[in-house]
Copies of this chain bind each other. A is one copy, B any other.
């Protein structure tokens, strides 16, 4: 694989940045990597495990001379980081991000970007419930999708190079309008996470069922919810604050459907329930056919 960039700078060195850095190294895709994080602790860990070639104290230092800059901080921190790095960006550099919301990042970062750089927001649809520089692994993006939301008039060569680096670290790339991205993600990720958090909160609240019972008997379905609900609170707070409209729209529909099912249970309307549960099976089949999951006979991932 030829080297696509001479120097890649990561601002933020958490799960996503560390996975990208390891995957770029695996693929021999870039000549040099630099990076920084907010805390001295994270920077020290990154140095200790040699996550990037050079750890800098500030974002301004990290981006100097970089032809690719990747913003890997929570969505709510993007604007401040953009303002900080803007004066130090190299001419012709590409600036991208990995934030889970795209319209808000576009609005927060775009205005800070000088005309001489290419700003192409992005979002890898891959993650785990773990955070920080030690959480990364090179295979995170393999066979996963990354969505890029290039603004109108984006330079075709810059887009092509960024696409190839994502492909080089294992992902498939799609291009989408940021508003559509935010709606799709509200359905496939943001609302499911909110619901999982809510269900786990309910379980924790209930006096008549103890936490130890919830934990002991979690294999019956609840466990999958707790995995989702263990993700980083700051990241998810920012997602809901910045993808407010789409999340509220999907939540509204969710509540409507839930009320219909609740009424069917109350009335003992077994036909309604059976028809609903039959329809939802088809989507699962589609996911397995699309290679986005395996069909192994364990519920969750522990029976192996």
Contact = CB atoms under 8 A, between A and B. Distances in A.
B261 A194 contact: yes
A140 interface: yes
B199 A127 contact: no
Interface residues on A, range: 35 or more
11 contacts: A187-B203, A188-B221, A189-B221, A191-B199, A195-B195, A200-B283, A201-B279, A211-B286, A233-B281, A240-B265, A241-B273
A84 interface: no
**Majority secondary structure, A binding face:** helix
Contacts of A257: 198, 201-202, 205
Contacts of A174: 216
Contacts of A193: 221
Interface stretch (A5-13, A23-31, A52-60, A129-137): A129-137
Given A192-B221, A233-B274, A257-B201, A226 B266 contact: no
A188 B201 contact: no
A280 B204 contact: yes
A262 B209 CA distance: 25
Interface stretch (A41-49, A108-116, A248-256): A248-256
B128 A226 contact: no
A303 B140 CA distance: 7
Interface stretch (A90-98, A150-158, A161-169, A292-300): A292-300
Nearest to A172: B216
Contact of A125 (B135, B187, B190, B220): B220
Contact of A200 (B127, B280, B297): B280
Interface string A250-290: 11011101100110011010100110111111111111001
A219 interface: yes
Contacts of A203: 187-188, 283
Contacts of A227: 224, 284, 293, 299
Given A127-B220, A217-B125, A220-B125, A255 B253 contact: no
Given A187-B209, A230-B281, A233-B281, A199 B296 contact: no
